[in-house]
Amino acid sequence: MCINCNMRYPYGKKISDLEPGDEIILKEGYGYPKAKENTVHIIVAVDGLSALTADGTRLSCFDGIGITTTGKNFSDFVITKKAKEILEKIEKKNNNR
């Protein structure tokens, strides 16, 4: 979940509208870690105004301005070890609630 933000932030909606498998172009300087150049990513998970890409890049509502959707959605894609570890931490945290 995105913190320090709310739905009034206009670019957060771009993140919340993403779905797993969506292909995006992340502009240089956006995401965490920050992209060093414009790069193509596949979304693996979305939680409110936050998202995770298949390579483990995290997106917050503030990154919505730095993404462009390509209109492509993939049902089969590779998820890196880093992204899997992040997803496992999130799942573990959610199970402990």
pLDDT in tens, the chain (97 residues): 455 555 556 788 899 999 999 999 999 999 999 999 999 999 999 998 899 999 999 999 889 999 999 999 999 999 999 999 999 998 888 888 7
Dihedral sign (CA 57, 61, 66, 69): positive
User: Does a structural domain hold residue 6?
Assistant: no
Domain containing 30 equals 12-95
Give the count of domains, the chain: 1
Confidence at residue 78, expressed as pLDDT on a 0 to 100 scale: 96
Q: Which residues of 26-61 are buried (b: 16+ CB within 10 A; e: fewer)?
A: bbeebbeeebeeebebbbbbbeebbbbbbebbebbb
pTM of the predicted structure, to 2 decimals: 0.88
User: Does a structural domain hold residue 7?
Assistant: no
User: Does a structural domain hold residue 5?
Assistant: no
In 3D, which of 50, 70, 68, 67 has the Cα closest to residue 59? 50
